Amino acid sequence: MNPAPSSRRFQLFSIGVLVYSLGVILWGAFVRATGSGAGCGDHWPHCNGMVVPREPSVATLIEYTHRVTSGLAMVAAVALCVWGLRAHAKGHPVRKAAVWSLVFMVTEALVGAGIVLLQYVAQNTSVARGWWMGIHLVNTFLLVGAQTLVVWFSRGRAPLAWRGQGWVAAMVGTSIGGLLLLGVSGAIAALGDTLFPATTLAEGLRQDVSEAAHIFLQLRVLHPVLAVGVGAVVVAVARGLARLRPSRDVQRAATAISLIYALQLGAGLVNLVLLAPVWMQVVHLLLADLVWMSVVRLGAAGLSSDAPRAVPAGAPVSSASAV
């Protein structure tokens, strides 16, 4: 059965909001990588005390563009939430996902404002900046995850069922926790690349192992180790869920995770060899977001209340399940 025109429009709008949010997130990474976070000074929401900056520098233009696009993302999140609540009956999973997407959009704005007002931008090397970057990354992932679920449920998918899932829930939770940890380590590594750029690969490696190096550089070496370890776990979980919950949605998500994560590891290696150029940092973050979205889809499909369950070997097959 084809969806009603209004339902189809909401689906397209939810996809558009998700894609636009990803664009804003990537531009935010561009702001950090280019050191343009102080382009509007320590003013928020105004830019250098003005609504529209006059004779802006390049850094100001970059930061101001991020603020304008972020404001539009907030408007889109409000529209998505209101439309989701009005267009779906009470109890529909879209409603909860849409509300959470707005909540995380608000906290995203608050965290961003805090980073600016506390001046954790540009060349600030304080440890507190690392904590804020980690919080920012976690909130961004949660925002993208909520918006991904809005798209997922808008297509008529069944709600999630956490009870009675056995190992499935634990496997999904492990993948989500692992990716959040990996994302935080990636945010710290990217911050180290921005604040302490190396001119050669050998110099960068010496920075990582030096006892006198800044804490961001000492932690940077953990990111590739976590990337390999977490990647192995996530791919193994995806394959395991594909056996425990043999549905087309789970199979597709598992395949996507394996392919995109392989690209992500390759991008990480290129990023290391090329000494983290700005464009490669943005590509690396995009692939990280795509992996995260695929894991969210895997979890939603595997924990779906109508997800088929694998029949244990040797177990009798009922006539109903054989149809």
Whether the pLDDT of residue 321 is over 50: the answer is no
Share of the chain above pLDDT 70, in %: 94
Task: Tell me the C-alpha distance between 229 and 223, whole Å.
Answer: 10
Q: Give SS3 for 88.
A: coil
> Do you find a cis peptide bond into 45, omega within 30 degrees of 0?
yes
Amino acid identity of residue 124, one-letter, is N
Q: Look at residue 34 in the predicted model and tell me its pLDDT.
A: 94
Q: How far apart are CA 29 and CA 140, in angstroms?
A: 11
Quick one: tokens of 166?
Answer: 């056995």
8-34 pLDDT, tens digit each: 999 999 999 999 999 999 999 999 999
Residue 33 pLDDT:
93
- Return d(Cα 113, Cα 237) in angstroms, integer: 37
Residue type, 50: M
Predicted local confidence at residue 318, as pLDDT? 44
What does DSSP assign to residue 47?
B
Check residues 164 and 87 and name the one with the higher pLDDT. 87
Average pLDDT over residues 183-211: 92
CB contact burial 196-227 (16+ within 10 A = b; e otherwise): bebeeeeebeebbeeeebbebbbbbbebbebb
The predicted pLDDT at position 61 comes to 96
pLDDT of residue 163: 82
pLDDT band at 320 (very low <50, low <70, confident <90, very high): very low
**pLDDT score recorded for residue 314:** 52
Give the per-residue pLDDT at 5: 64
What is the reported pLDDT for 319?
A: 39
CB 134 within 8 A of CB 141: no
pLDDT tens for residues 251-303? 999 999 999 999 999 999 999 999 999 999 999 999 999 999 999 999 999 99
C-alpha 29/C-alpha 209 separation (Å) is 26
- Residue 323 predicted with pLDDT over 60: no
Task: Please give the span between the terminal C-alpha atoms of the chain, in angstroms, as a whole number.
Answer: 21
pTM: 0.92
Which sequence spans correspond to the domains of the chain? 1-156, 160-309
Scanning 155-195, the segments in alpha helix (DSSP H) are 167-195
Contact by Cβ (8 Å): 36, 52: no
The Cα 139–Cα 311 span in angstroms is: 38
User: If you average pLDDT over residues 207-236, what whole number do you get?
Assistant: 93
Overall average pLDDT of the 202-224 stretch = 91
Average confidence score pLDDT of the chain:
92
What pLDDT score does 4 carry?
A: 60
Say if residue 92's pLDDT is above 60.
Answer: yes
Compute how many other C-beta atoms are within 10 angstroms of the C-beta atom of residue 266. 11
Q: What is the mean pLDDT of residues 105-116?
A: 96
**Highest-confidence segment of 97-106, 159-168, 194-203, 243-252:** 97-106
CA distance linking residue 280 with residue 102, whole number of Å: 30
Tens-digit pLDDT profile for residues 37-82: 999 988 888 898 898 998 899 999 999 999 999 999 999 999 999 9
Residue 226 has pLDDT above 60, yes or no: yes
8, amino acid identity: R
Residues of the chain above pLDDT 90, percent? 80
Helices and strands in the chain, H and E counts: 11, 0
What is the pLDDT averaged over residues 138-146?
98
- pLDDT attached to residue 308: 83
- Among residues 94, 95, 103, 102, the alpha carbon closest in space to that of 78 is found at 102
Q: Which of 42, 84, 26, 36 is nearest to 56 (CA)?
A: 36
Each residue of 305-316: pLDDT tens digit? Answer: 888 887 555 545
Task: Mention every residue, 6+ apart, whose C-beta is less than 8 A from residue 200.
Answer: 275
Comparing C-alpha atoms, which of 234, 233, 232, 253 is closest to residue 242? 253
